[in-house]
Chain A
């Protein structure tokens, strides 16, 4: 079966985002961008499933600007077989991304679609669930273990109290949690090979999807700044502070 792996180009997770002075958003000019960390885990999982024989072909897909090609090349260098860029310079909300992915999946016919559980920029945690709803497929969200057996997949999920395991009929949607795996680094020869792998460029209109936003962003602001604190010299002073607060 084929695996479809959606990946997103986002601000690098080590960068501290700066809110623009005019309150319209976060300043992304000249900021280091990378593949969303949860999506790297999704690519890695697809590759491992291919290495174990459960998956035959991996198609990476991204919705975003022309520069998202770099993100797709990273996925190809890790081990994806081909890639699709759905190019647009507009912000695309999870619902519209899910609609584009549904249309792409209708062409690719994947047995598994593996997404990150959330993008570290919008922190929505929606796309995988929305895609599952639109395709009427089962969903294994926040996965820390994925086992394909015959025509089903068993997914261990990270939930509030611990772990739970669900069994889903295939085709299915899986979203990755951080503990699913440790993504590999692309080697230089693989990065070179990735340049020759097929990368199709399409547009949302090719899939007949209207990407008009449903949510208006009125303002983006810095969070309240915490007051600078004090340093205490020793444990006794800390104990006194805790007692003052009524904690001890």
Chain B
């Protein structure tokens, strides 16, 4: 099977999420990549080094600069003339673009796969991760998005794929990019961090969140996450949210502080290797999934923990 993988990037560097998608694609057969963007040849050169990649399609056009689905979906559909499967990481770009591609090809997409069980058989989580479905596509072509935390990352060296320029139709004239506010974050990126310190509603306000959570995260070199309650209350920006509707993470260690452990939050972090919970309510559902629990007042415990580390 010949698979085309969407390369997630910001026009200068490739995102890690791509590497998990490449691993998933490798289980199906020959892997080709698509780098669509503007002034993104450097990304294509990076992508060509990934182990196991056969070819990199480079579509360099101002219309593809911001990955607008209206513009890139027809380009992908064109390339699907000689590919059997399209795979995208389940990032916000991937989730935006892939279903548009699937509908144009008249096939059903399989979202957020956890494993490849056969050429057309995959597992995927449903009901906020409370049920794992094994599903088989009956369509002629596959469109799949991949959960980044469920697959190992492909090696970024060792490959020597050829880069082939492709053009596509360019601007579909339906949409335009106005601007972006990308949160500045010097900490490890959440979906690839080894350790995550996450705060919930109990942190009271933005200032307290900063004072309590950040020093601990700094000490551990950890990424910082939050529950929906903390985001909705404005303690931190939305891209910190871990859960069914936020980011799905699976770090080595996830430290949940002042988070009760609602179904929707657990959906985003229960595949973490070790879960540590600090909460004053010993009946909080988070303790049912935590490997290590500490019952007590986070405002005493967390500063003490930070100091002793």
Contact = CB atoms under 8 A, between A and B. Distances in A.
B2 to A, nearest CB: 20
Contact of B91 (A16, A160, A222, A242): A160
A231 interface: yes
Contacts of B253: 242, 245, 247
A193 interface: no
B70 A139 contact: yes
A123 B182 contact: no
Contact of B305 (A93, A231, A238): A238
A101 B107 CA distance: 17
A120 B126 CA distance: 8
Nearest to A38: B245
Contact of A232 (B101, B138, B292): B292
A94 B109 contact: yes
Contacts of B70: 132, 138-139
A154 B178 contact: yes
For chain B, what secondary structure do more than half of its interface residues adopt (helix, strand, loop), or is it mixed? mixed
Contact of B127 (A121, A129, A160): A121
Interface string B262-289: 0110000010001110000000000111
A11 to B, nearest CB: 7
Interface in B120-176: 121, 125-139, 173-176
Interface string A124-152: 11111111111011111110100000000
B149 to A, nearest CB: 14
A141 B180 contact: no
B92 to A, nearest CB: 4
Residue from the set A136, A163, A169 with the largest chain B CB neighbour count within 10 Å = A163
Nearest to B274: A245
A162 B228 contact: no
A230 interface: yes
Nearest to A225: B289
B309 A248 contact: yes
B232 interface: yes
Contacts of B244: 120, 123
A158 B98 CA distance: 17
Interface string A5-42: 00000010110110100000110000000000000000
B150 to A, nearest CB: 12
A229 B275 contact: yes
Contacts of A242: 253, 276, 309
A223 interface: yes
Interface in B221-272: 228, 231-232, 237-239, 244-245, 247, 252-253, 263-264, 270
A130 B103 contact: yes
Given A220-B131, A238-B292, A178 B276 contact: no
B127 A17 contact: yes
Contact of B308 (A14, A222, A236): A236
Contacts of A230: 291-293
Contacts of A117: 245
A132 B112 CA distance: 20
A219 B132 CA distance: 8
Those 3 A-B pairs whose CB atoms lie nearest each other, nearest first:
A129-B99, A133-B103, A130-B103
Given A117-B245, A123-B128, A177-B245, 5 more contacts: A122-B126, A132-B100, A139-B96, A141-B96, A160-B93
Interface of B: 66, 68-70, 73, 91-93, 95-104, 106-112, 121, 125-139, 173-183, 191, 195, 219-220, 228, 231-232, 237-239, 244-245, 247, 252-253, 263-264, 270, 274-276, 287-295, 301, 304-305, 308-309
26 contacts: A13-B263, A19-B130, A94-B109, A95-B107, A123-B125, A123-B128, A125-B99, A129-B96, A129-B97, A159-B180, A160-B239, A160-B247, A163-B182, A164-B181, A165-B177, A166-B177, A167-B176, A169-B174, A178-B228, A178-B232, A221-B133, A223-B270, A229-B293, A232-B293, A235-B305, A239-B305
